[in-house]
């Protein structure tokens, strides 16, 4: 590909050359800004959250009867204490080295 005819055409028509230069500059500015935003978000995600993330878990309860009230069962202590004791035992067993 020869560059000389392209350069001579650009020298004759300065408006096209200016528009191409502005387009390149605008594209470069958008890409640099996007890269800065991505870098900033990644650095924010990499810092510690301050929460004990390693020991957070979720327990889901499902009832077999339509009239079962999970909230009242948990607050009454019929199943809440039993589950917490079992979970604490399981965590102690899983953390101990072999």
Task: Assess whether 25 and 58 both reside in one domain.
Answer: no
CA-nearest of 87, 88, 63, 58 to 73 is: 63
Task: Assess whether 9 and 33 both reside in one domain.
Answer: yes
Task: Assess whether 28 and 61 both reside in one domain.
Answer: no
How many domains does one find in the chain? 2
Task: Assess whether 57 and 90 both reside in one domain.
Answer: yes
Task: Assess whether 33 and 61 both reside in one domain.
Answer: no
Query: Please, which pLDDT band fits residue 71 given cuts at 50, 70 and 90?
Result: low
pLDDT at 41: 95
Highest mean pLDDT among 4-8, 18-22, 35-39, 71-75: 35-39
Q: Which residues contact 9 (CB under 8 A, 6 or more apart)?
A: 16
- The whole domain housing 22 covers 4-46
pLDDT at 91: 65
Q: What is the pTM of this model?
A: 0.47
């Amino acid at each position: 590909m020869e560059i000389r005819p392209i350069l001579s055409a650009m020298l004759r028509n300065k408006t096209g050359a200016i528009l191409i230069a502005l387009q390149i500059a605008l594209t470069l500015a958008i890409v640099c800004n996007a890269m800065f935003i991505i870098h900033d978000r990644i650095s924010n995600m990499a810092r510690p959250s301050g929460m004990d993330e390693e020991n957070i878990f979720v327990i889901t309860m499902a009832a077999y009867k339509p009239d079962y009230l999970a909230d009242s069962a948990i607050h009454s202590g019929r199943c809440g204490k039993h589950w917490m004791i079992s979970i604490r035992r399981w965590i102690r067993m899983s953390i101990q080295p072999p």
